[in-house]
Amino acid sequence: MKSFDAIVIGAGQAGPFLAARMIEKGMKVALIERKFLGGTCVNAGCMPTKTLVASARAAHVARNGATYGVTIPGEIAIDMKVVRARAETVTMNARNGLIGWFAGMDGMTVIYGHARFEGPKTVSVNGETLTAPRIFLNVGARPVIPDLPGVNEIDYLTSTSIIDLDTLPRHLAVIGGSYIGLEFAQMYRRFGAEVSVIEHGPKLASREDEDISDAIADVLRSEGIDIHTGASEIAFSKSSDGITVATDSARIDASHVLIATGRKPNTDDLGLDAAGVITDGRGFITIDDKLATNVDGIWALGDCNGHGAFTHTSYNDFEIAAANLLDGDDRKLSSRILAYALYIDPPLGRVGMTEKQARASGHKILISTRPMSRVGRANERGETKGFMKVIADAETKKILGAAILGIEGDEVIHGIIDAMNAGTTYPALQWSVPIHPTVSELIPTLLGDLKPV
């Protein structure tokens, strides 16, 4: 049995950085990863997909160059092998960077293999048993495949496998109208494929307010994406030249099917029962406000704990754990103000409550909206789709939430994220003097138009 001061299972965004901090404190750490260093973000999430989004945007800008007085002779062609290779290069650079970083750390032992608990303080991997007083689970999540008629009879794609595609689909059917599915839908439409989105619910991006959801649908439809919501019955069958996707109201002749109906935690094969670790009904590890499980000495970080399925929330889990365990701090998960983005183009930046949530919470709320068509930067760039929206508490003057669907919305939202984390009231933010011409300069104007509802 090999002994360590800590064992980290999973090399996503939280685990490696926590391991590095512990090594700085003189600890001996084992980092176990069953596949690739970097987790979902580096290998199958943010880095490769946003690289693909960039390629798709380049194609879109080139096709629309004439609007800006830029004429490109001939048809805009897409080399999917080059597109894929570029995304792979970005991934490999990041992964190899981690390999090199870890190799230079005294006290770090990187083990590739499948870890399972043998008890609350012991883990087996590759036929060896490891023990440590502290064990951190950072095992991430994977695509979930719903039990739909015919799904096991077709060759479907997931958000992981589609990244390896180096040919252009004739017609891509995307099952699931949420964040992952919508990003791939617009991406492949811009590459030149016909695209249909099939969503079981009544609207796309169901977490969002109805006005945001409708605006997202308008953006996608304007680029020629076929959207089917309220699809109560979805079934698949092979056809002579691809796959037939049948719903209660449509029949789609697809060449490829992407199933993007959510993700589930990688907790079902860790032997959690042997350690006594409790999970909820969906398999997420149950944790307290400081990321500790019900078993003393075991913590769960990142996607597997069900408290945010984003790279930045996973990294914040590392920050909370490191501050509390290594720096004598008292940081809590409940203090986090959730923010995220949807990387269609234009992107959606979101923070805090939606309007629906704010109304349900009992706050006396103020709301302001402003179309991007009234933003100078958006008009100058010729990208006027979308709108800004902010929600505030009429009594405390604190901002409760905001959504910016529009050009650079994923960056502009940070002005509001920072204000909310600092506890700044919206009247104070109104007096800032932003730079012109930017999208962010409209935040004080947006706040000045807050009205009761």
Q: Which residues are catalytic?
A: 436
**Cβ proximity of 32 and 7 under 8 Å:** yes
CA-based radius of gyration for the chain: 24
Q: Sign of the C-alpha dihedral, residues 184, 185, 191, 193?
A: positive
**Nearest alpha carbon to residue 448 among 431, 435, 433:** 431
Q: Give the max Cα distance, the chain.
A: 70
Q: In what order do the strands lie in the sheet with 451-452?
A: 339-342, 348-352, 399-405, 387-393, 365-371, 451-452
Query: Terminus-to-terminus CA distance in the chain, angstroms?
Result: 64
Task: Annotate 306-350 with DSSP letters as a single string.
Answer: TS--SHHHHHHHHHHHHHHHHS-----GGG---EEEE-SSS-EEE
Task: Annotate 135-154 with DSSP letters as a single string.
Answer: EEE---EEE-----TTGGGS
Query: What Å distances lie between residue 263 and 176, 281, 418, 423, CA to CA?
Result: 12, 14, 29, 33
- A 10 A CB-CB count for 69 gives 6
Cβ neighbours of residue 33 closer than 8 Å, sequence gap 6 or more: 10, 11, 110, 111, 112
CA atoms within 13 A on the CB side of 225: 32
CA distance 246 to 198: 10
